[in-house]
Every structure is written in C-alpha cells, then in structure tokens.
Amino acid sequence: MNIQGKVFVVTGGGNGIGRELVLLLKAKGAKVAAVDIDEVALKETVKLAGGTKDISTHVVNITDRAAVEKLPAAIIKTHGAVDGLINNAGIIQKFIKVNDLEYKDIDRVININLYGVIYMTKAFLPHLLKRPEAHIANVSSMGGFLPVPGQTIYGASKAAVKLFTEGLHSELLPTNVGVTVIFPGAIGTNIAAHSGVVMEGMSASNSTIKMTPPTIAAKKIVEGIEKKKYRVRIGSDSVMMDRLCRLMPERAAKIIYSQMRSILPD
C-alpha cells in the first residue's frame, strides 16, 4: 500500500507508539486523524508534528460506541476519505493475579483493548470497503500468544484481538481491504503510567528488560502496512518467544514466569 496521499486513523495517537505512528505517517505524506482520550497529549503530538497541517485530532473514548460511530463522518468531513485504520490504543492491567483483580479493572482492560478495536473496526470498515485500496492494522501483543502471569486479563484481551484480526483478514480476502495483526514485545513506552498502573521503581527509562524504541515499533508497523503483511512481530523478544511458543509452549510459559515472579504479589 502506498502511504503517500492516504488518510489514516490512529488510535492512541497522544502517546507512545501511537504518537510515533502519527509522526511517521505524516512524514510519509499521509493525512492523519489522531484519536485519543487525552486532549493534552494530542496537542503535544501535533506540536511535535510541526502543526495541524494534514493532522486532525479527535478526543474520543473508544469504549463509547456512540461516540466512535460519529467518528467516520467527522474525519471524512475533514480529510475527504479514510484509507487506513490503525487500532493501536491499549492498556495493561495491574500486576496482580486474577483472583485479586477487581471486576472494574477487568472490564476496563477488556473494553479498551478488545471492544475499542471492534467498535472502531465496525465504524470504519464500510467506508474502507469503498476505497480503491485500504488497510486495517490491529495491535495485539506478545502477551497475546504467550501467557504472562500478572497480566492474564490483558493477555486474554490481546489474544482476542489476534483472533479477531485474523478472522477479519480471512473475511476480507476477496476485497480491497488488507489486514495486519501486530505483535509488539517490550516497547520503551510508559504504558503502565498511561494505564493508571503504578509500578514501583519500574519505568521504560530504568527497566533492565531490553526494549524496542517506539520509533522502531512505528516503523515496523508502517512497513507491514506498506507490504500488506499478515503479521508483524516487533522486537527480538517477540520473534524469539513466538518461535518457542510454537515448539515448546509450556517451556516458554515457564521462562516468562521465572522472569515475572519477582514483581508478582504472592
């Protein structure tokens, strides 16, 4: 898919990978509608992009289906069309076991990570099907194919995104709409803070885990769209654990457990 001149919608455009996607897409000649619940963060993204030329911002809670359903008309009114959708927005859960996780926290993770993707896809797909060439990219996670203790609900939501995206790909094979599922490993963003999760002594800046910079993650995602890839793995950790999960799934799960148990409450 040729990015130049296309109109892309990016959720989570105020921070992290989403912000880098907005900046990269604009640099490649696209028009971008950046969607986020954080208006201040969106303004910072626009500032980093050098102003509002070819960028529109939309403060929307993607778990609000009624609000999401109004988005296509607003974006098409501004940019004239929609050619691409990148469902990037997502949060993690508190690093605690399912037994100790409150239902309100479970609902929040599933609503943002899964229903937000479904709502956005349902809202924009009819418009994408009318375009000569279009694409949907959904961000799952390495945690969508690999169990991470303390992130079980997050992983379940991202595994659902994986299968939703793969099913969508199959349904859209006869159409002009390409579909890509993204599997980031550890990315150098402060997703914990943006998720409202307090991690004592841990952040993207001081973690001992090797992390992929969000600029590289954005580049991989855009390349995947350009090449119409079925799946994109981001980071050596995602590539390695994907292979190990296929060969020795229980062994892979134990490796992650041994790495995570020190921060998991008893």
Q: What is the pLDDT of residue 261?
A: 85
As a whole number of angstroms, the distance between CA 15 and CA 253 comes to 30
As a whole number of angstroms, the distance between CA 195 and CA 204 comes to 14
The single residue listed with the structure tokens 């990315």 is 187
Q: For residue 114, give the nearest of 84, 83, 100, 93 by alpha carbon.
A: 93
As a whole number of angstroms, the distance between CA 131 and CA 154 comes to 33
136 near 178, Cβ under 8 Å?
yes
pLDDT tens track for 57-97: 999 999 999 999 999 999 999 999 999 999 999 999 999 99
Q: CB within 8 A of 114, min separation 6: which ones?
A: 157, 160, 161, 164
Give 84's strand partners: 8, 135
For residue 80, give both structure tokens: 């004239």
Give 21's strand partners: none
Coil, strand or helix at 125: helix
pLDDT tens track for 159-211: 999 999 999 999 999 999 999 999 999 999 877 666 666 555 445 454 456 89
As a whole number of angstroms, the distance between CA 233 and CA 10 comes to 19
Q: What is the pLDDT of residue 190?
A: 72
Catalytic residue, from 103, 115, 119, 154: name it.
154
Q: What is the pLDDT of residue 200?
A: 52
Q: What is the pLDDT of residue 264?
A: 83
- The CA-CA-CA angle for residues 130, 133, 139, to 5°, reads 100
- Does residue 266 register a pLDDT over 80? no
Mean of pLDDT values over 233-254: 96
49 near 20, Cβ under 8 Å?
no
Q: Which residues of 1-35 are buried (b: 16+ CB within 10 A; e: fewer)?
A: bebeebbbbbbbbbbbbbbbbbbbbbebebbbbbb
Q: What is the pLDDT of residue 223?
A: 98
The CATH number assigned to the domain with range 7-263 reads 3.40.50.720
pLDDT tens track for 95-148: 999 999 999 999 999 999 999 999 999 999 999 999 999 999 999 999 999 999
Q: CB within 8 A of 187, min separation 6: which ones?
A: 16, 17, 211, 212, 213, 214, 217, 234, 235
Q: For residue 186, give the nearest of 163, 158, 217 by alpha carbon.
A: 217
As a whole number of angstroms, the distance between CA 214 and CA 113 comes to 19
Give 7's strand partners: 31
| DSSP secondary structure letter of residue 146 | S
88 near 21, Cβ under 8 Å?
yes
User: How long, in residues, is the chain?
Assistant: 266
The single residue listed with the structure tokens 């379940």 is 156
Q: What is the pLDDT of residue 14?
A: 98
Give this prediction's pTM. Answer: 0.93
Respond yes or no: is residue 103 known to be catalytic.
no
User: Would you kindly state where each structural domain of the chain is located, as residue ranges?
Assistant: 7-263
